[in-house]
Chains A and B, each alone.
Chain A
Amino acid sequence: KNEVEQSPQNLTAQEGEFITINCSYSVGISALHWLQQHPGGGIVSLFMLSSGKKKHGRLIATINIQEKHSSLHITASHPRDSAVYICAVGGATNKLIFGTGTLLAVQP
């Protein structure tokens, strides 16, 4: 079993829909990261959080430390949101453990 599990692996949505991507982890962490990677592109850090909730534009990330679970929400989704979203957890050693990613396609 992977230490970081994401669901779903693939997600197709219509433009404007509310999207949720989930991440569960089994190790102790100091912070959780959400990353975005466009096809053939680089990796961009969206959020780093260790508790509660963070919001940036249409993106919202939440984390529940007790349940070892995080969610990434996208409100009013747009085709430009189409990308792979990767959850990664960091512990005391600063090493990140990555999930396998969620491939999101937002159709116009």
Chain B
Amino acid sequence: DAGVIQSPRHEVTEMGQEVTLRCKPISGHDYLFWYRQTMMRGLELLIYFNNNVPIDDSGMPEDRFSAKMPNASFSTLKIQPSEPRDSAVYFCASSPPRLGPSYNEQFFGPGTRLTVL
């Protein structure tokens, strides 16, 4: 398996532009997570899906951020309009179905480094 795939790997855009980040989870995994990593705040969970349904989006910073998962093999994180403070590395991760009381480990993609000028 190729692991979690994210695109683009790097994105530079200007303030006010729309940004779309893409993620393909590992086949068979039914949990998908979007994280943001900054120097100031470290890693933060933005939203996660289970079986394509958003379960918890309490980490989404504001209405400018939206995420979708139209099918089991694809998810997007969109920022519209983008602002310089959105500059960060955005990670997507997936994990397999739960088989017991505990959740499984998460497998991270390589991340998308976003710079908003």
Interface residues of A (CB under 8 A from B): 30-31, 33, 35, 41-45, 48, 50, 86, 88, 90, 93-96, 98-101
On whether the beta carbons of B43 and A48 are closer than 8 Å, the reply is no
- Take A95-B45, A100-B42 as given contacts and tell me if A45 and B103 are in contact as well, using a CB distance cutoff of 8 Å: no
Q: Taking chain B's interface residues, is the majority helix, strand, or loop, or is none over half, making it mixed?
A: strand
Distance (whole angstroms) from the CB of A84 to the closest CB of chain B: 10
For chain B, residues 60 to 117, give those with C-beta under 8 angstroms from any C-beta of chain A: 91, 93, 101-111
- Take A94-B31, A94-B48, A95-B56 as given contacts and tell me if A42 and B111 are in contact as well, using a CB distance cutoff of 8 Å: yes
Instruction: Tell me which residues across on chain A come within 8 A of B43, comparing CB atoms.
Output: 86, 88, 96, 98
Distance (whole angstroms) from the CB of B90 to the closest CB of chain A: 12
Q: Give the total of B residues in contact with A, Cβ under 8 Å.
A: 23
Instruction: Tell me which residues across on chain B come within 8 A of A99, comparing CB atoms.
Output: 42
- Take A33-B106, A48-B104, A96-B106 as given contacts and tell me if A43 and B45 are in contact as well, using a CB distance cutoff of 8 Å: no
Pick the residue among B56, B103, B108 that contacts A43 (CB under 8 A).
Answer: B108
User: Can you pick out 16 interface pairs between chain A and chain B where the beta carbons lie within 8 Å of each other?
Assistant: A33-B106, A35-B108, A42-B91, A42-B108, A42-B109, A42-B110, A45-B106, A45-B107, A48-B104, A50-B102, A86-B42, A86-B43, A94-B48, A96-B106, A98-B43, A99-B42
Interface centre among A31, A44, A86, A94 (most CB of B within 10 A): A94
Interface residues of B (CB under 8 A from A): 31, 33, 42-45, 48, 50, 55-56, 91, 93, 101-111
Cα A73 to Cα B106 with chains together (Å)? 21
Interface centre among B91, B105, B110 (most CB of A within 10 A): B105
Interface centre among B50, B101, B103 (most CB of A within 10 A): B103
Instruction: Tell me which residues across on chain B come within 8 A of A90, comparing CB atoms.
Output: 103
Cα A28 to Cα B66 with chains together (Å)? 30
On whether the beta carbons of A31 and B102 are closer than 8 Å, the reply is yes
Instruction: Tell me which residues across on chain A come within 8 A of B102, comparing CB atoms.
Output: 30-31, 50
Q: Whose C-beta in chain B lies nearest to the C-beta of A86?
A: B43
Instruction: Tell me which residues across on chain B come within 8 A of A44, comparing CB atoms.
Output: 108
